[in-house]
């Protein structure tokens, strides 16, 4: 009986941080959705995760959005092999800064600072990204 109780407590203790993380970071789904859309070459889907300014600017021209992102020095994201989430800073109830780490197509490492806004009726949307190359390569 003690073993079952201890196992149940251990499983609960492992599940609580995972639940808390997903509850505290709902914007990560938007970041991942946009990254996966870029990797798939789907400008229309990538644009749905962008902030209102981008959606308005590129309305009806999702391929132009995709091309603009790739040509603006963000090819490390567009062509990335993988990504993982780092620290975040919830600036307000509707604004967050999220660090995302990338392995580029040539195994180079990159770090991006995503700025997201919780837009009414839309949810969390990407409103800006600052990307920098890191020292080293992925193994």
Check if the beta carbon of residue 32 is closer than 8 Å to that of residue 25. no
- State pLDDT tens for residues 64-75: 999 999 999 899
State pTM to two decimals: 0.80
Task: Enumerate domains of the chain plus CATH numbers.
Answer: 2-137 (3.10.450.50)
- State pLDDT tens for residues 67-126: 999 999 899 999 999 999 999 999 999 999 999 999 998 899 999 999 999 999 999 999
CA dihedral 34, 38, 43, 46 (to 10 degrees): 0
């Amino acid at each position: 009986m003690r073993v079952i109780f201890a196992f149940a407590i251990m499983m609960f203790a492992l599940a609580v941080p995972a639940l808390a993380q997903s509850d505290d970071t709902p914007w990560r789904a938007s970041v991942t959705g946009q990254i996966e859309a870029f990797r798939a070459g789907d400008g229309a889907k990538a644009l749905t995760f962008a902030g209102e300014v981008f959606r308005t600017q590129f309305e009806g021209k999702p391929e132009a959005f995709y091309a603009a992102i790739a040509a603006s020095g963000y090819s490390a994201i567009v062509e990335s092999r993988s990504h993982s989430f780092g620290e975040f800073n919830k600036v307000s109830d509707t604004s967050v800064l999220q660090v995302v780490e990338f392995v580029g197509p040539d195994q180079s490492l990159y770090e991006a600072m995503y700025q997201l806004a919780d837009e009414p009726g839309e949810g969390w949307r990407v409103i800006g990204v600052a990307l920098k190359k890191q020292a080293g390569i992925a193994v």
